Amino acid sequence: MKQAKILALVLALAGFAYAGYYFGTHAQSAQGAAKAADAPRKILYYRNPMGQPDTSPVPKQDSMGMDYIAVYEGEDESGGTVTVSPEKIQLLGVRTEAVAMRSLQRKVRATGMLEVDERKQQWVAPRFDGWVVKLNVNQTGQQVSAGTPLLSVYSPELESAVREYQLARESGLAEVEQSARLRLSNWGIATQDLTHDDKGATQLLLRAPISGVVLEKKAINGARFAAGEVLFRLADLSGVWLQAEVAEQDQGGLHTGQKVDVSVDAYPGEEFSGRISFVAPVLNEMTRTLRVRVELNNHSGRLRPGMFAAVQIETGAKQKVLSLPLAAVIDSGARQTVLVQVAEGRFQPRSVKLGQRNEEWAEVLEGLGEGEMVVSRANFLIDAESNLRAALSGMQSAPSAAGQQGGEHAQAHH
């Protein structure tokens, strides 16, 4: 019995010792946790309140006057990484696309008007005074072929020069004959076009210098004309010009020889092919546009000067460049940012530098590598959520700091 009592006493003492150790250990742990909770958290750095990838070791403000947000030890140190649940990704309709090598050709659209090719115009303007004797072509818009007789004229100067030439030729005066022939040649007169009327007066038959259309006819039967006065204006319309006005921001990449597609209202759904033959060296200061001249084949005669036309010009390099979807870019005006998918459901804002672009894609010069995935749909919603989180974080940290300062002040009074 005595041995049994001794054994029971030993077990009881062991139990009390264990209980003391257990409660003592937990009390110390709770006290340590309470002290850790009361201890001020260590600030690692300050991050941009708008989610931009910009940090600072000291407090500062952004360009809008917003305070940078403190990032404490133990918090997410990714500098603005946003975590989105799979359910929210599906709800927002988030879509990502890869940064890859693509061709960035684009079509510049402009409008203009068809005009006569200046190089294919010809004026009929005698180099001497005279009178119109007879009109062979008397309608504006009439088609003529090169060499077609246009009108017959009489001129006292011409009469004198012709008689001088004939007399010198008959008299064998070679020098006088040569002088008279040179005078006729300078007037653009071919001897085979000289005729005589019933009274023996010399007349000159003026012919069409080119094949084309009579755009203007000023000659009238019996009317007098002065040297250099335009009697007919002809134009070959087998080729026409399109004078297009290209917007200032679209002029990059334009050069002579580029192929263009032209459409006119008269033939809906039909396109005419042409090439740029001239790009104006000076910008129109009033309209902020650049004049571009396009040459068009018009052997069919369907294109008429004065028609309005729309033109599409392919610009941009054909070789592939590193590019991302234009829809992925969040442009604040001061910088361009994209949201990069760093893991499933985790997105990080990244500043990028962009180059040339078209309607869908933009060239990446800096900030991204090939194969990285960027958010191309719902990126503004994710960006807005990250900004909201940053704002709420700032609002929560401010009262905590104020409460901590208040507690310290109260302890100082006690």
The owner of tokens 């257990």 is: 22
222: left (phi over 0), alpha (psi -120 to 50) or beta: left
DSSP H helices in 238-378: none
CA dist 359 and 325 (Å) reads: 9
* Domain assignments of the chain as residue spans, ordered by start: 43-77+388-409, 82-103+320-378, 106-117+237-315, 126-229
Q: Are 126 and 230 in contact (CB under 8 A)?
A: no
What kind and span of H or E run contains 156? helix 156-171
> Which residue in 156, 164, 165 sits closest to 130, CA to CA?
156
* pTM of the model as a whole: 0.59
Q: Are 46 and 56 in contact (CB under 8 A)?
A: yes
The owner of tokens 């090598």 is: 101
CA dist 177 and 165 (Å) reads: 5
> Which residue in 410, 375, 401 sits closest to 89, CA to CA?
375
Distances (CA, A) of 27 to 19, 32, 35, 151: 12, 9, 12, 124
C-alpha 351: how far from chain center: 22
What backbone torsions phi and psi does residue 317 show, to the nearest 5 degrees?
A: -75, 140
CATH number attached to the domain at 82-103+320-378 = 2.40.420.20
> Which residue in 97, 33, 113, 41 sits closest to 70, CA to CA?
41
- 82-103+320-378 with 106-117+237-315: one CATH topology? no
Beta bridge partners of 214: 234
The owner of tokens 């500098």 is: 79
From the candidate CATH numbers 2.40.30.60, 2.40.30.170, 3.40.50.300, 2.170.190.11, the one assigned to the domain spanning 106-117+237-315: 2.40.30.170
Written as tens digits, the pLDDT of the chain (414 aa) is 444 444 444 344 444 444 443 434 444 444 444 444 455 667 766 777 665 656 777 888 877 777 877 766 554 444 457 777 788 878 878 889 999 998 777 788 999 999 999 999 999 999 999 999 999 999 999 999 999 999 999 999 999 988 998 898 888 888 888 888 888 889 988 888 998 888 888 999 999 999 999 999 999 999 999 999 999 999 999 999 999 999 998 887 788 999 999 999 999 999 999 999 999 999 999 999 999 999 999 999 999 999 999 999 887 666 788 999 998 998 877 788 888 888 888 888 888 999 877 778 888 999 899 999 999 887 777 666 666 555 545 444 444 444 444 444 444 444
Q: Are 144 and 208 in contact (CB under 8 A)?
A: yes
